[in-house]
Amino acid sequence: MKESQPSAIYLKDYKVPPFLIDKTELTFDLDEATTVVTSRLHMRRNPLDGKSNAPLILDGGEDVKLIGVAMDGYALPPEEYQLVDDKLIITATADSFILTCETLIEPQNNTRLEGLYRSSSMFCTQCEAEGFRHITYYLDRPDVMSVFTTTIIADEARYPVMLSNGNEIERAKTDEGKTVVVWHDPFPKPAYLFALVAGDLAVKNDLFTTQSGRDVKLQIFTESHNIDKVDYAMEALKRSMRWDEEKYGREYDLDIFMIVAVDDFNMGAMENKGLNVFNSSCLLASPKTTTDDAFLRVEAVVAHEYFHNWSGNRVTCRDWFQLSLKEGFTVFRDQSFSADMHSATVKRVEDVSFLKTAQFAEDAGPMAHPVRPSSFIEISNFYTLTVYEKGSEIVRMIHTLLGEELFRKGSDLYFERHDGQAVTCDDFVAAMQDASGIDLTLFKRWYSQAGTPIVTVEDTYLPEEQRYLLTIKQETPATPGQPTKLPLHIPIRVGLLNEQGQEIQAQYQGEHSTDVTLLLTEAEQTFEFTQVSSKPVPSLLRSFSAPVKLRYNYTADQLLLLMSADSDGFNRWSAAQQLAVNELTQLIEQASSGQPLAIESQLVAGLRSLLADESLDPAMVALILALPSQAYLSELAETIDPLAIRKARQFLKVTIANALSEQFAQTYQNNIITSDYQPSAQDIARRSLKSMALSYWSETSDDKVKAAIAEQFANADNMTDQFGALSIAVHSAHPDAASMLNAFYEQWKNEPLVVNKWLMLSASQDADDALAVVEGLMAHPSFDLKNPNKVRSVLGGFGQNVAGFHKEDGSGYRFLADQIIVLNKRNPQLASRLCTPLTRWKKLKPELSVKMKAELERILAEDLSKDVYEVVSKSLV
């Protein structure tokens, strides 16, 4: 362990920047080994700061070498500046001046993938959140917005494409024959939105005419062997641009919009002004190499980054505590876009299922934090499900409270009022409140209070008076640093069904409706419905109107009724999940205590009628058929017994499969598509149902299924079907699974994104020597420790390997800890994210818990990056 540990910074300590940078002029003399960066910063004291003598403190990094610094052309001698803890401190400055700084950086040795680095044959940058300081000394904070001009000098033969933000304004040759390209971005922006790319890249061009009739040039750049895989992203981009005009009245502002795909990238993608940089896994798509899920992800990420042009770039964050201002809102926008492009109910189920599995687990663990955190050690650790997904749920609740029209008025006001500014979550809510006249004072507590509220509902029906009372309580469990919690403003959408499953037209607050939104604002409240003709079955929290855990004692019959008859498609899924959770909970208890497993499954009956109902969207049928995941059941468990959960799931799956074997075989056949592959909502839906049916069918002893799997694998004309068959073969111990895995690798070894899928599936396969298999994968020629996608594939796959990862001797945990230690300094962001499974140690059953904890302690004894230190130390508290 280090002598002194990194310390936290606090939202309450926010101060305006003492200096501003009106213009930033950068010159990059690009070279793999040593790149020279020259900056000319047009600076002045911030009038809002009020102090006339505050020193100038610029942010830098240990990997930035300062060559020289000058003020208004006067080279500062060493005694006039100081370098302390990566900061450049200049004590005496004028009120306005030009600061020139020359630094050396080593892109080739940059394994952190922050700042300027190399990915395959190209140069690229990642500056959010604090990557720019790894390029040059700067006021690297989002409330310092500047107009950037960027000059790139490089060897044209190797780097014919040289890009930065804004418009290309000049192109020339140096005396030594190098090429000089100058880019200018007229929109002031914080440094985190800066980008530079250089490489020998292929380009796909297109054009978009905005609603006001301006032509925007669209360009997607990739390495030449991938340029045949960008058509889908280009179409998705145009759909996004149109959608943002229609839904939010937001038009694109520059004359050119560029996207570049890079292979080595820590996250999904980045919204740099006019020059988005993408992890190639979120951009490239072709039917033969890309699954349906990945197509949808490409569309969603393209939309997300594009939408940031307004929610993030034109209006940005004052400080990083406000990250959800742009991320929560932009996730809400991309979710709404995908809902409009495909099926809204399917999209909602997928998003909620993810939230309830992963964000709820985060909210219940040691890293729990409010959507607007009040402190952090390393901001990279706060690009979380809470900031993104729960942040989006908060915006969705505002949308529910205001309704479509007032919400739009609110967003118009927000963009208009704050265009060109760096603002806070409070500013966002204020715009929504001012535009709508709806008081959101109490609602704002959602931003500052961490943890998932538990909402408990009890009901009473008074037949003589035809009255129905819902008593709703809320309680939020304590989270680290927040021992006591206050009531939140929770919108709860409710409908009432009679025993035949028809909607009851009850009266609530004087109005007749079949769907009302109850506003819970206190710890306990009773809501009254009148003219209720018969005892209702309540359909609660429709469309998941708030990110809470709902408790109501439904009988199995009530759940079956909701599952088959609720007009809210989301709640049909939700009822089926609840029924499955109830049955699985019994089975998990049996497995945990060593009893034989047995269940009178009522879910089977529900699923039988579901499969028989041909009016349903096949995608919804597939979602309802999917049993609650291992991860979700772990989140729900008081104490996690991983193998008991796995055994229970498997038992229920086999029970369902055997009971409905013929229906599954038939559903499989009915959903085979003979026309050419299309990633359309309709076809994706049918493939997902087909795959779900095959997966159940594979659990039966029907000998025809093995042939069906092998056939689908061999003859598929698209990756969804091919990989679907392969996964089912691997997980159902198909006799040919091993040879299919090999054949798959041989077929796709030159397609890295497909190899990633192979790595992940291979690492997840159940085997006595699972750990040895994973070690073999990391030594495989296709593996590369520099590439985050590969690391995540193998270690993510291993994380899903229940028996291998949770082996009683702790070897699975030890292996993961070893990898974290190796990556800790090489790539802190990646290493830190890999810690997530270990942060759940407290909930594991005692034998496993001690082993996992010991690994966290072993990691903590190392000389750690801030990123890993924060997660590991907080997890051990």
Q: Which of residues 241-270 bind ligand ARG (CB under 6 A)?
A: 266-267, 269-270
Q: Give 661's contacts (C-beta < 8 A, 6+ positions apart).
A: 697, 700, 702
- Alpha carbons 497 and 459: distance in angstroms, whole number: 14
Cβ-based nearer residue to ligand ARG, 788 or 796? 788
What DSSP string describes 725-755? HHHHHHHTT-TTHHHHHHHHHHHHTT-HHHH
**321 to 380, contacts with Zn ion by CB under 5 A?**
327, 330
Three-state DSSP at 12 gives helix
The least CB distance from residue 113 to ligand ARG, in Å, is: 8
What residue 802 binds from ligand ARG, Zn ion, none (CB within 5 to 8 A, per partner kind)?
none
Closest to ligand ARG by CB, 330 or 712: 330
Residue 327 engages ligand ARG in binding (rule: CB under 6 A) = yes
Quick check: 271 binds ligand ARG (CB under 6 A)?
A: yes
Q: Which is nearer to ligand ARG, 265 or 664 (CB)?
A: 265
CA distance 317 to 21: 17
How many other β-carbons are positioned within 10 Å of the β-carbon of residue 267? 18
Supply the minimum distance, in Å, between the C-beta of residue 293 and ligand ARG. Answer: 19
The amino acid at 114: E
Interface positions, 814-833, toward ligand ARG (CB under 6 A): 829
Closer residue to Zn ion in complex, CB, 270/450: 270
Instruction: List C-alpha distances in Å: 606 to 61, 374, 450, 617, 633.
Output: 59, 46, 37, 16, 21
* Minimum distance from residue 348 beta carbon to Zn ion (Å): 20
Residue whose CB is less far from Zn ion, 243 or 713: 243
Please, which residue, 271 or 566, has the CB nearer to ligand ARG? 271
Cis ω before 129 (30° cut-off from 0): yes
Closer residue to Zn ion, CB minimum distance, 275 or 728:
275
Q: Find which of ligand ARG, Zn ion, none residue 267 binds, CB within 5 to 8 Å per kind.
A: ligand ARG
Shortest CB 127 distance to Zn ion, Å? 14
CB of 317 to ligand ARG, least distance (A): 10
Site string for Zn ion, 613-642 (x = CB under 5 A): ------------------------------
Which member of 100, 286, 380, 424 binds ligand ARG (CB under 6 A)?
380
Q: How far is the CB of 128 from Zn ion (least distance, A)?
A: 9
The token pair that represents 365 in the structure block = 């663990």
Q: Select the residue interacting with ligand ARG from 383, 414, 677, 723 (CB under 6 A).
A: 383
Q: Which does 270 bind (CB under 5 to 8 A by kind): ligand ARG, Zn ion, none?
A: ligand ARG
When CB distances are held under 5 to 8 angstroms depending on the partner's kind, the choice from ligand ARG, Zn ion, none that residue 685 binds is: none
- Minimum CB separation of residue 637 from ligand ARG in Å reads 31
**CA-CA distance, 412 to 752, in Å (whole number)?**
43
- CB 375 to ligand ARG: min, Å: 17
Cβ–Cβ < 8 Å for 514, 494: no
Picked from Zn ion, ligand ARG, none, the partner binding residue 829 (CB below 5 to 8 A depending on kind) is ligand ARG
What is the smallest separation between the CB atom of 404 and ligand ARG, expressed in angstroms? 25
| Three-state secondary structure call for residue 800 | coil
Candidates 305, 350, 393, 583; catalytic one: 305
- Tell which residue, 635, 630, 625, 632, has the closest CA to residue 645: 630
Residue 635 interacts, among Zn ion, ligand ARG, none and using kind-specific CB cut-offs from 5 to 8 Å, with: none
248 with 314: CB under 8 angstroms? no
Inter-residue contact 610 to 633 (CB < 8 Å): no
The residues that bridge with 518 in the sheet, in sequence order, are 492
Secondary structure letter of residue 514 according to DSSP: S
Determine, following the binding rule CB under 6 A, whether residue 865 of this chain makes contact with ligand ARG: no
* Least distance in angstroms from the C-beta of 266 to ligand ARG: 5
Adjacency order of strands within the sheet including 215-223: 201-209, 215-223, 256-262, 275-279, 269-270
128: partner contacted, choices ligand ARG, Zn ion, none (Cβ within 5-8 A by kind): ligand ARG
Q: Give the number of residues in contact with ligand ARG, rule: CB under 6 A.
A: 14
The reply on whether position 305 binds ligand ARG by CB under 6 A is yes
Alpha carbons within 13 angstroms on the beta-carbon side of residue 169 total: 12
Q: Should residue 320 be labelled a site residue for ligand ARG when binding is judged by CB under 6 A?
A: no
312 and 330 Cβ atoms separated by less than 8 Å: yes
CA distances from 169 to 165, 215, 252 (A): 11, 18, 19
- In the range 122-151, which residues lie near ligand ARG by CB under 6 A? 126, 128-129
Neighbouring residues of 460: CB distance < 8 A, sequence distance ≥ 6: 468, 469, 471
Catalytic status, residue 305:
yes
- Rounded-to-integer distance, Cα 792 and Cα 786, Å: 11
Collapsing DSSP to helix, strand or coil, 577 comes out as: helix
Nearer to ligand ARG, 9 or 83 (CB): 9
Closest CA to 102 of 148, 146, 136, 54: 136
Picked from Zn ion, ligand ARG, none, the partner binding residue 381 (CB below 5 to 8 A depending on kind) is none
* Closer Cβ to ligand ARG, 391 or 628, answer by number: 391
Strand, helix or coil at 591?
Answer: helix
Question: Which lies closer to ligand ARG via its Cβ, residue 326 or residue 690?
Answer: 326
734-753 residues in contact with Zn ion (CB under 5 A) are: none
| 166, two tokens | 């804004």
- 543 with 569: CB under 8 angstroms? no
Tell me the β-bridge partners of 261: 278
Positions touching ligand ARG (CB under 6 A) are 126, 128-129, 266-267, 269-271, 304-305, 327, 380, 383, 829
Positions touching Zn ion (CB under 5 A) are 327, 330
- Return the active site residues: 305
